[in-house]
Structure 1
Amino acid sequence: MNDNNDLVSSHILGPLAVNSFGDKFLFNLNRHSFDKVSAKTLFEAKFDEVLFNENTLYVIVGTDSGLLPKYLRNKTIPKGSRYIFIEPESVLTVLREQGLLAHAEQNERILCISWQDWSSAIRNFKIADYFYINAVRSFNAFCAQDDFINEYAELSWNIVETLAQLNWENNTAIGQEAFIDRQIKNVADNRLPAKLLQHAFGGQTVVILAGGPSLDEALPWVRLHREQFVVFAVSRISRQLLAAGIEPDFVFSVDPQEISFDISKEMFRFGARTVFICSYHASSKLLNQWQGLMLYLGSRVPWESPLNVANLSGAGPTVTNAALNVAYDLGFKRVILAGVDLCFTRDGFTHAKGSNEQLAGPKLNLTSLQVETNGGFLAPTGNDYAQAIKTLSLQARRIVRSGGRVINGSLGAARIEGVEYIPLSEIKLDETSINAKSVVDAKVSSYASGDDYLTDVLVELKRAEFQVQAIKRLAEKARHINDTMYNASGLLENYKDKRKLDQIEKKFKRQHRHFAKLVKRFGIRQFIQVVRPFNDEDWTFEEARQLGNIYYDAYYEGTKKLSRLIADAIQRVLVRQQENEADPDFDLLFEQWRKDKSFGRAKAWRIKHPNVAISADTSALFSEFEREFEEVLNQKDTRHFARIKARSKLTIVRQRAGLLFKHNKLEELQDLLLSLDKHEQQQAAEPYRYLIKGYLAELAGDTELALNSYQKIIEDGDILLEDALIRIARIGIEHNDIHNVYLALDCLSKLNPVFLPFYAEIQRLQGDMLDAIDAYSAYVSQFPSDTLAQIKLAMLYIECKSYDGAEMMLDFILSQKPDHQAAIDIKRQMLTGRAIN
């Protein structure tokens, strides 16, 4: 069986071929790519400017029969850079048998692997370090671009998706600044820990409502049985809950981004029944304007402190994951998920009706990432949802092990291990009603007063301020020592200065260890500049000096940012103390509220102090703040809505449809076409619809229908005209329809000069040599740096026996690149040939 498989693989890859330049390659991998110019010349023209950056990890699909890694092996590989070449298993086996990877695989910074070795390769090559410094690049070799063996398309697709996922995961892992920023801003308001409610709902049922498309079908059921369970809701669905007449017992938020306020602000319309549970790093504008009871998850400050009392975790990655954690900790034994889809509808809708996402139209830039649903069909999802699915499965299994159940009532939701699918109508509920608010009030009534808490916070913030300022002074001192301890030749002059730096480093690690770590976390991307994932040479003294300066500058800048945050937090605490006074400094209050854009605090103050007499001017200012708050709540055209609408821009369709067509994704193309049927701009969507229909027809082998679809685009105007002409030309080439190819390339060359070389080639094939020379000349005059096109033009001159023109072209190339071997060889052969003749 294996022998037969090897035989088939060998047949598909073709025989080992050698071109006139001595390049060896498997014929069916590269076919005629290296007929006219050497692999070295082609690689120099296409890859030289992108493949040789320092401290970069390159992931390359395909090896061009081993010629591309061989080319790298013969070059000077940049400092700190590494290369992973990935091939289909069958191709890799044959390349090794033929010895085409032997030289490349001797270099420890070049790896040639198959997909099954991917995980170990990226681990050994420290891909996370390269992601941290934004230095991972991916390309397709020529064999992968052409994909004559129909093996590279899926491999390329997998690499793109995998790198996107890894990039998301690694950047999420180091994206600490926003979390620390919100944590310090929120410390004045994070008074009540959610742990106060631990085990408060033992044995009860909770329904967790999220914003997925299935929420629409769940809301009538929730409204019908509202009093028979506790309701958890993510903050972003507040608008839909208000429209459905449902007030949740608990509303959740974890997102630190300010845009979270835009999508959640309707939660301020809920009454006193609703309790707000939020992560310590949730959007400050949600926390500091909430007028009801609020409990926080996680820790109060990002350093070791008595303020960090025992609490429940607010770990995500999504707010739904956080809510499920809380459901477990509060003792619920049955958790019903509704709107927790963690995937999208196949026609591109990502959220329930009434949400910004649904109002903006279908999402047209879906990835190929898919999950199986409870209904047994596949549905598209995103990187964040994919991670949330893994976490939710772990959470669900923990609940099941403790004797509980997790149920999802939607067929369209992602199927998750540990989560049962039961239609909502078949779930049996207890007849007794639950008063969640009374349970909560009984648990929090005896907790410490706000005044005592604010006093403790003020003491802790001032301690932090002192520590950070001390680190700042040490960083300044170290930076000065590091910059002056080298002489004019860049050599270390005074080793006593080096010992002083060592002493400062010890103070960072011992005397100020907690806050030094915080500074590093806060400015991690600056510290990462010091990282060199692959140190293949010892540092020079000058490099050591520069890296030392970067290191201490990172400390200094981190302390500056942190000091500003702490100073602002101290001022906010002082204002909160004033808010508790019956006769506060109103000017101080108003100033802080304006700075934080927390206009809702005005109404909260009036509610808290109903009997305090204030002047008419002060009362007018209170009214102004309350009006501003109402305007913010009523505003529909938010930044979030604008950002979401961008996902539905028709220009996205061209790229996505092309990618799906390239990878033969028939079903996804059909789904994209269905999305366009629901787009708000039907007339503008028409050419995109024809493009997709053309792609679908080509995949189905219906050439006539495809050409008719592309012809419709040409007849209707300028949109997608280039794409349609390219497909017409391609179909003409496949069916040997030279006339259509000629007409299409003629039009394309007038639309875009990049197509002039292709037009020149079709003219050459038809024997129109002078017209071909004119087309190439027109191209070269516009793109004088394209050496490859210049070489082809020179060879065309030689083919026409116009040796003067060829010599002039070759001399021009050599004047720009005197050591260009291909130009030297062609000129020598031409002169030798002329002399013989």
Structure 2
Amino acid sequence: MNDNNDLVNSHILGPVTVNSFGDKFLFNLNRHNFDKVNSITLFDTKFGETLFNENTLYVIVGTDSGLLLKYLQNKAIPKGSRYIFIEPESVLTALKEYGLIVPAEQHERILCVSLHDWAFAIRSFKIADYFYINAVRSFNAFCAQDDFINEYAELSWNIVEVLAQLNWENNTAIGQEAFIDRQIKNIADNRLPAKLLQHAFGGQTVVILAGGPSLDEALPWVRLHRDKFVVFAVSRISRQLLAADIEPDFVFSVDPQEISFDISKEMFRFGSRTVFICSYHASSKLINQWQGLMLYLGQRVPWESHLNVANLGGAGPTVTNAALNVAYDLGFKRIILAGVDLCFTRDGFTHAKGSNEQLVGPKLNLTSLQVETNGGFLAPTGNDYAQAIKTLSLQAKRIVHSGGRVINGSFGAAKIEGVEYIPLAEIGLESSAINAKAIVDSKVSDHVIKEDYLADVLSELKRAEFQVDAIRRLAERARSINDSMYNAEGLLENYKDKRKLDQIEKKFKRQHRHFAKLVKRFGIRQFIQLVRPFNDEDWTFEEAKRLGNIYYDAYSEGTKKLSRLIEDAIQRVVARQQESESTPDFDLLFEQWRKDKSFGRAKAWRLKHPDVEVSAANEALLDEFEREFQEVLDRKDTRHLSRIKSRSNLTIVRQRAGLLFKHKKLEELQDLLLSLDKHEQQQAAEPYRFLIQGYLAELLDDAASALNAYQKIIEGGEVLLEDALIRIARIGIDHEDIHNVHLALDCLSKLNPVYLPFYAEIQRLQGDMINAIDTYSVYVSQFPSDTLAQIKLAMLYVDCKSYDGAEMMLDFILSEKPDYQAAIDIKQQMLVNRGQ
């Protein structure tokens, strides 16, 4: 029965089949994806224009039996774009053997490789340049999404992991536009630099609270000893701190993304004791609605300016790294980390109780990346955490070198060089209380914000507006000159024009050098084409003209984006000036607050102007803004919650469990089973739980328990039915239980015709030749191009001495493949047998 081991092999690709639209594909890669519509229509519907952006590197897992690759090869490839398809080795080999993919060398901007050649592909296609312009996109083809062969999940996770790591390695220039965007939006509100508190807490102790799972264990200890240390908290744990009745001294945020507001908005419920320390580029909705003391990190404006006073830095990559930097700069000599795990629990929980991540259940799509913990065991982590670990280690070593200490009190936190592990209960604390607010007030009170601060900012923004507009006019003039200095044949005709362009370039570099650099950051997608990572041919005059136009268009595009930001910032500053007036222009205020969705400013205005008389109409609008702000704070179903729900999707479990079983990862399977016990959809999780129990039993050589678990899946319905039947067949083969193998294959062949040949083989082994012939005939009628199955059917006819049937089958094969030697040999042997 060992001849049938292939039936449970994960490389069952099925035969090549042709649908009614003429699409050829390996049946078990795509099954019924192309039954109702042809592949081109399906790809158009699924991907639309998302696969055809210019200057983009696409990484696509799977080719849908070569159909998606062919689809792209027949399209006009966008300018500057390239495509890397990656397939499992076995699939790629089969696609080549069946002629379903065209050799890569025929398409210089499309590669189809296995993981073995992945490093070569990304180097030759200059992935770093695409990362530089934030233009790497990854997709899963239909075959990878469905993963009927249990090969694509591992490949896809591997690629996602590698791309994330490469992104981190190339992220110094990525996302600058978003940071500068927030920086300009926040100019009016970034008033007090965090440097005012430098060395303010010399020799004292601070506890930095982050959102890792160990926060749950730390909060009771923090509450018990609250007055013995200063408390730093990342903004995302505000909900948990409120539930624990802990008000931090400082709350931190650095993320420029708007979703940061969703996960941090509970910080607005803290009292006046809490100081907000934020990066200059933190979410504008957090910064412009905070009603207490706020200190910013970094520079006020992204150009050389007197507004950029000396300040503390706040480099990441995470908010915890930024908080640790500030703790060092403020003079703390002992820094205790709590909830700073930088890894997940073994059962998949990434954050503490009360967080959105914990509410939706365990993370099921964990990658293979792991780190050693303080407890000595391995725990899963992510690429962002892995990078944060490296940075935190460097920070800790600097602090230790200066005579300080960094301590982590969590057994399950990542072990980090430079950070001591001491359980919280064993850490000795100061006997006297620390009054952080009094220290802060003493340092900040002498630095009252100047009355004319906003006027100063407004003047600086108008200077920037003038500079950017001058660059725009120069770029437009240069574009016009560049167009006119070539003749009809594309040759350079007027060298005087060339000198004019040189003079304009000098103005960019001298008169406007600071703002020209800033403009370039906003036109980076266009400017990167001038580095020419996308083609290597020599320049022609025509190409020089085209690139010149790209260059000046890039300047124009950058000035347009930057001008819009500066104009918005000017309007915002004018609105802030009105907020200081006793009788403001309420229409202007309301318009700005609506535009920025900064409804919380209404309450702040009322607190600062308690004695100002307001008309009934304006009073009603102020009430409306306050209600709107309160509704935003109370809203639970946020975008962040919706986004993270996908990672606890149960369909991920099948792929992950199969991957862990394949690599015999017993402990990780047990952890995955434990995570299902905590999933919010317990009834839906049942078949997945049985599947994992079956896998675990097989790894422990307990066939009876495995069969019992798989039988429960079959009794439960259609979910994971095919997976269970395959394992039952596998166990039956291993234990020579032909009855169970027969039943399993009978069911499998009804679910998926790809199993019909295996069922036919079992029937043959049982001596049921007639039914074996019938089963093979059903299969061959569905897949008339599977020559191997046709040969086996012909041989069955021969074994049964049904020579007419055999001859008919062999003639059909030879009509399609006249030189097919196996068919010729059988036919000759059959003639000999019939002659005897």
TM-score of the pair, normalised by structure 1: 0.78
Q: Do 2:278 and 2:295's aligned partners in 1 also have CA atoms closer than 8 Å?
A: yes
In structure 2, C-alpha distance between the alignment counterparts of 1:415 and 1:44, rounded to whole Å: 41
- SS of 1:296's equivalent? strand
Distance 1:273 1:455, change over 3 A: same
Distance 1:650 1:804, change over 3 A: same
Name the amino acid aligned to 1:806. Answer: I
Is 1:415 the equivalent of 2:404? Answer: no
Q: Do 1:153 and 1:663's aligned partners in 2 also have CA atoms closer than 8 Å?
A: no
Residue 176 of structure 1 deviates from its aligned partner by: 2.3
2:779 aligns to what? 775
Residue 519 of structure 1 deviates from its aligned partner by: 3.1
Residue 44 of structure 1 deviates from its aligned partner by: 11
Distance 1:156 1:282, change over 3 A: closer
Residue 680 of structure 1 deviates from its aligned partner by: 2.3
2:108 aligns to what? 79
1:440 aligns to what? 440
More divergent stretch after superposition (670-679 vs 455-464): 455-464
Distance 1:229 1:34, change over 3 A: closer
- SS of 1:76's equivalent? helix
More divergent stretch after superposition (61-70 vs 759-768): 61-70
- SS of 1:337's equivalent? strand
In structure 2, C-alpha distance between the alignment counterparts of 1:734 and 1:502, rounded to whole Å: 79
Measured against aligned partners, the alpha-carbon deviations of 1:564-586 in whole angstroms (never above 9, x if no partner) come to 22211110000001111111101
Residue 666 of structure 1 deviates from its aligned partner by: 1.7
Is 1:397 the equivalent of 2:392? Answer: no
1:331 aligns to what? 331
Is 1:280 the equivalent of 2:280? Answer: yes
1:206 aligns to what? 206
Name the amino acid aligned to 2:812. Answer: G
Is 1:455 the equivalent of 2:462? Answer: no
Structure 2 residue runs without a partner (length 5+): 1-8, 17-24, 27-61, 74-80, 142-146, 796-805, 832-836
- SS of 1:302's equivalent? coil
Match for 1:134 among 127, 133, 136? 136
2:383 aligns to what? 383
2:514 aligns to what? 514
TM-score of the pair, normalised by structure 2: 0.79
2:799 aligns to what? none
Q: Do 1:374 and 1:412's aligned partners in 2 also have CA atoms closer than 8 Å?
A: yes
2:617 aligns to what? 617
Name the amino acid aligned to 1:566. Answer: I
1:18 aligns to what? none
Q: Do 1:756 and 1:779's aligned partners in 2 also have CA atoms closer than 8 Å?
A: no
1:317 aligns to what? 317
- SS of 2:648's equivalent? coil
Name the amino acid aligned to 1:334. Answer: R
- SS of 1:437's equivalent? helix
Is 1:343 the equivalent of 2:343? Answer: yes
- What is the number of residues matched between the two proteins? 749
Residue 751 of structure 1 deviates from its aligned partner by: 3.4
Q: Do 1:303 and 1:515's aligned partners in 2 also have CA atoms closer than 8 Å?
A: yes
2:305 aligns to what? 305
In structure 2, C-alpha distance between the alignment counterparts of 1:320 and 1:235, rounded to whole Å: 10
Residue 641 of structure 1 deviates from its aligned partner by: 2.1
Measured against aligned partners, the alpha-carbon deviations of 1:466-487 in whole angstroms (never above 9, x if no partner) come to 3333344444455566667777
- SS of 1:174's equivalent? coil
1:187 aligns to what? 187
In structure 2, C-alpha distance between the alignment counterparts of 1:486 and 1:128, rounded to whole Å: 34
In structure 2, C-alpha distance between the alignment counterparts of 1:726 and 1:488, rounded to whole Å: 70
2:719 aligns to what? 719
1:362 aligns to what? 362
Q: Do 1:266 and 1:633's aligned partners in 2 also have CA atoms closer than 8 Å?
A: yes
What's the % identity of the aligned pairs?
Answer: 73
In structure 1, C-alpha distance between the alignment counterparts of 2:342 and 2:272, rounded to whole Å: 30
In structure 1, C-alpha distance between the alignment counterparts of 2:570 and 2:688, rounded to whole Å: 56
Q: Do 1:333 and 1:403's aligned partners in 2 also have CA atoms closer than 8 Å?
A: yes
Residue 660 of structure 1 deviates from its aligned partner by: 2.0
In structure 1, C-alpha distance between the alignment counterparts of 2:121 and 2:165, rounded to whole Å: 17
- SS of 2:162's equivalent? helix
Q: CA RMSD in A?
A: 4.4
In structure 1, C-alpha distance between the alignment counterparts of 2:728 and 2:11, rounded to whole Å: 23
- SS of 1:278's equivalent? strand
More divergent stretch after superposition (523-532 vs 177-186): 523-532
1:669 aligns to what? 669
Name the amino acid aligned to 1:386. Answer: A
Distance 1:795 1:307, change over 3 A: farther
Measured against aligned partners, the alpha-carbon deviations of 1:120-169 in whole angstroms (never above 9, x if no partner) come to 99778744235454268999xxxxx999xx9x999998666334422454
Q: Do 2:211 and 2:237's aligned partners in 1 also have CA atoms closer than 8 Å?
A: yes
- SS of 2:414's equivalent? coil
Q: Do 1:451 and 1:577's aligned partners in 2 also have CA atoms closer than 8 Å?
A: no
2:708 aligns to what? 708
Name the amino acid aligned to 2:467. Answer: Q
Distance 1:468 1:703, change over 3 A: farther
Measured against aligned partners, the alpha-carbon deviations of 1:25-57 in whole angstroms (never above 9, x if no partner) come to xxxx99999999xxxx99999568549977446
Alignment of 1:48-67 (within 5 A): 50=69, 55-56=82-83
In structure 2, C-alpha distance between the alignment counterparts of 1:124 and 1:712, rounded to whole Å: 50
2:236 aligns to what? 236
Residue 73 of structure 1 deviates from its aligned partner by: 12
1:819 aligns to what? none
More divergent stretch after superposition (178-187 vs 499-508): 499-508
Residue 495 of structure 1 deviates from its aligned partner by: 6.3
Distance 1:508 1:154, change over 3 A: same
Name the amino acid aligned to 1:277. Answer: I
In structure 1, C-alpha distance between the alignment counterparts of 2:504 and 2:210, rounded to whole Å: 50
In structure 1, C-alpha distance between the alignment counterparts of 2:345 and 2:215, rounded to whole Å: 12
Residue 552 of structure 1 deviates from its aligned partner by: 4.8
Name the amino acid aligned to 1:776. Answer: V
Measured against aligned partners, the alpha-carbon deviations of 1:383-427 in whole angstroms (never above 9, x if no partner) come to 111111111111111000000001111111111111111121221
Name the amino acid aligned to 1:223. Answer: R
Q: Do 2:374 and 2:415's aligned partners in 1 also have CA atoms closer than 8 Å?
A: yes
Distance 1:681 1:747, change over 3 A: same
In structure 1, C-alpha distance between the alignment counterparts of 2:364 and 2:206, rounded to whole Å: 35
- SS of 2:161's equivalent? helix
2:76 aligns to what? none
Q: Do 1:80 and 1:535's aligned partners in 2 also have CA atoms closer than 8 Å?
A: no
- SS of 2:212's equivalent? coil
Name the amino acid aligned to 1:247. Answer: E
Structure 1 residue runs without a partner (length 5+): 1-28, 88-109, 112-117, 140-144, 781-788, 811-822
In structure 1, C-alpha distance between the alignment counterparts of 2:814 and 2:215, rounded to whole Å: 72
Match for 2:813 among 800, 806, 816? 806
More divergent stretch after superposition (43-52 vs 388-397): 43-52
2:48 aligns to what? none
In structure 2, C-alpha distance between the alignment counterparts of 1:210 and 1:277, rounded to whole Å: 15
Measured against aligned partners, the alpha-carbon deviations of 1:208-227 in whole angstroms (never above 9, x if no partner) come to 11111211221222122212
Q: Do 1:251 and 1:277's aligned partners in 2 also have CA atoms closer than 8 Å?
A: yes
2:605 aligns to what? 605
More divergent stretch after superposition (525-534 vs 758-767): 758-767
Name the amino acid aligned to 1:221. Answer: W
Distance 1:405 1:778, change over 3 A: same
2:577 aligns to what? 577
Q: Do 2:92 and 2:114's aligned partners in 1 also have CA atoms closer than 8 Å?
A: no
In structure 2, C-alpha distance between the alignment counterparts of 1:758 and 1:524, rounded to whole Å: 57
Residue 357 of structure 1 deviates from its aligned partner by: 1.9
- SS of 1:805's equivalent? helix
Residue 339 of structure 1 deviates from its aligned partner by: 1.1
Residue 681 of structure 1 deviates from its aligned partner by: 2.0
Q: Do 2:810 and 2:823's aligned partners in 1 also have CA atoms closer than 8 Å?
A: no
More divergent stretch after superposition (56-65 vs 254-263): 56-65
Residue 602 of structure 1 deviates from its aligned partner by: 0.9
